Chain A
Amino acid sequence: QKEVEQNSGPLSVPEGAIASLNCTYSDRGSQSFFWYRQYSGKSPELIMSIYSNGDKEDGRFTAQLNKASQYVSLLIRDSQPSDSATYLCAVNRDDKIIFGKGTRLHILP
């Protein structure tokens, strides 16, 4: 089992809809979780971090964490074409950040 798993996509979502990105992790002891956005040819950009179970909202983005089920998700409301990018999930395991392979998101105009 991979340490951090994401569906590679592409995930196609109509403009204005909610995009839902999911990530599962294998180490139950993981404590902190991060979502990054990476445009093609650019470096990853931190979107959100989440540390406790439940939802965390920041603008159009909501991160959801469920430690019992070992998954973390990112919801993007009112999706815009500019949200088209690869989204990387990252998990802190024993002070080591493990990145998933990313999910490609395509917002359809």
Chain B
Amino acid sequence: ETGVTQTPRHLVMGMTNKKSLKCEQHLGHNAMYWYKQSAKKPLELMFVYSLEERVENNSVPSRFSPECPNSSHLFLHLHTLQPEDSALYLCASSPGVGYEQYFGPGTRLTVT
């Protein structure tokens, strides 16, 4: 595997489900990010981790819970989501905070 990978690529979940999105970067980077991109809307930064420490949390609802166990892995735990949470969730990594970011392919999430 190279670059930034994300699993699953597609996810359909009910509002009462609990699921997790996984991101892994193979670039030796120190910073990782979660973004949300809704249809025809700009990228929304959700969380930023630098060396496994959360450095930014952009007023994201608590039904989204990030986890960064090491500098190569990032998770986004989902529970009791709403239909408006349906979107493309993108993971990115960069050599450090503020450097150019490299994106994974994204997880297309549909909440029913």
With A95-B98, A97-B98: A102-B103 Cβ-Cβ less than 8 Å: no
Cβ of B11 within 8 Å of any chain A Cβ, yes or no, is no
Q: How far is the CB of B101 from chain A (nearest CB, A)?
A: 6
Interface of A is mostly: strand
Q: Would you list which residues of chain B between 74 and 112 have a CB under 8 Å from chain A?
A: 88, 90, 94, 97-106
Contacts of B105 in A (CB 8 A): 42-43
Q: Are B100 and A49 in contact (CB under 8 A)?
A: yes
Q: Are B42 and A100 in contact (CB under 8 A)?
A: yes
Q: How many angstroms from the CA of A100 to the CA of B100 in the assembled complex?
A: 15
Cβ of A46 within 8 Å of any chain B Cβ, yes or no, is yes
Q: Are B102 and A46 in contact (CB under 8 A)?
A: yes
With A95-B97, A95-B98, A96-B98: A88-B43 Cβ-Cβ less than 8 Å: yes
Q: How many angstroms from the CA of A44 to the CA of B56 in the assembled complex?
A: 21
With both beta carbons as reference points, the residue of chain A lying nearest to B91 in the complex is identified as A43
With A32-B98, A43-B90, A92-B98: A99-B103 Cβ-Cβ less than 8 Å: no
Q: How far is the CB of B30 from chain A (nearest CB, A)?
A: 12
With A42-B105, A43-B90: A99-B43 Cβ-Cβ less than 8 Å: yes
Q: How many angstroms from the CA of A42 to the CA of B29 in the assembled complex?
A: 22
Contacts of B99 in A (CB 8 A): 32, 92
Q: How many angstroms from the CA of A97 to the CA of B50 in the assembled complex?
A: 14
Q: Are A45 and B98 in contact (CB under 8 A)?
A: no
Q: Are B42 and A45 in contact (CB under 8 A)?
A: no
Q: How many angstroms from the CA of A102 to the CA of B41 in the assembled complex?
A: 9
Q: How many angstroms from the CA of A11 to the CA of B88 in the assembled complex?
A: 24
Q: How far is the CB of A97 from chain B (nearest CB, A)?
A: 6
B-binding residues in A (CB < 8 A) = 32, 34, 41-46, 49, 88, 90, 92, 94-97, 99-102
